[in-house]
Amino acid sequence: MVSPGEQEVKITGTAAWRLRKVGILDVDLCGPSIPHMLNVRSKHVHQCDAGWVPVYANPEQTIAVMSIGFLLENPDDAVVWRGPKKTALIKQFVSDVAWGELDYLIVDTPPGTSDEHLAVVESLRGHGVEGAVLVTTPQAVSTGDVRREITFCKKTGLRILGIVENMSGFACPHCSECTNIFSKGGGEELAKQTGVPFLGCVPLDPQLSSSLEEGGDFIQAFPLSATFSAINKIAQKVMSGAAVRR
């Protein structure tokens, strides 16, 4: 599980993950942004004997994606559902999607501790969940939300692989200098206070933001950027943390 949505797109694009078969399950039912960021909004889900066939985000078919965004007639349609209907769809995503053989399944959840999170934990409990990656920005308002997510993980028995501090400073695209526009260190301090591993910081980077907005490949476009280096290190830590349990 990863929260919020932008982070797993960054992680799956790194070199460490490209050699593996990765599935991305987007359970942010009210704000399905993964198809946009992976530039697969125009694609559709098809049926086969084994269930729904996920959409593949690359020619090698190593990144499989499933999202309610593929099922909406209009991308601007609002999903106005109560908890039971959300839960039923998430369970269907887990059981009725023909993922094939995956090395990793990454679940993008919305912020908070609501029906989507409970449905994911219950649906995947028998599949050997490796753990959750929690994403925060440095501000106290955000770390407060993530503190409650830590409590949720502990109550449901979900191992926490670590915390990522997103939007940690602004990386200038011209000189690469990093300026702390908001603040810095909130995620790392939260990790220390709660005894959770700290995975690293990702700065605000206009080049990364542009790539996600346009569905571009940030890794290929800016392989030498400090932001890529930071994301790659986080991906390595996530994989190492998951491997410890295997």
| pLDDT tens per residue across span 167-190 | 988 877 777 777 888 778 999 999
* pLDDT given at position 246: 55
Amino acid at 139: Q
Check pLDDT > 80 for residue 149: yes
CA torsion through residues 106, 112, 113, 116, sign: negative
172 in the Ramachandran plot: left (φ > 0), alpha (ψ -120 to 50) or beta? Answer: beta
Using DSSP bridges, classify how beta strands 2-3 and 132-136 pair: parallel, antiparallel or unpaired: parallel
* Res 18: pLDDT: 58
Quote the pLDDT of residue 15.
44
Is 9 a residue whose pLDDT tops 60?
A: no
What pLDDT is recorded for position 5?
A: 45
pLDDT-above-70 percentage for the chain:
90
Question: Distance between CA 209 and CA 211 in Å, rounded?
Answer: 5
Residue 136: closest CA among 198, 87, 88, 78? 198
Q: Each residue of 65-86: pLDDT tens digit?
A: 999 999 998 888 888 888 899 9
- Specify the pTM: 0.86
> pLDDT tier at 109 (50, 70, 90 boundaries)?
very high
| Rounded percentage of the chain residues whose pLDDT exceeds 90 | 47
pLDDT, tens only, 37-56: 999 998 989 888 888 999 99
Read off the pLDDT band of 219 (50, 70, 90): confident
The pLDDT assigned to 16 comes to: 45
Mean pLDDT of 105-133: 90
Specify the amino acid at residue 131: G
**What is the residue-wise DSSP string for 62-125?**
-EEEEEGGGT-SSTT------HHHHHHHHHHHHHSB---S-SEEEEE--SSSSHHHHHHHHHHG
What is the token pair recorded at 245? 């349990």
Indicate if the pLDDT at residue 206 is higher than 90: no
- Using an 8 Å Cβ cutoff, are 197 and 191 in contact? yes
Residues facing 63 on adjacent strands: 22
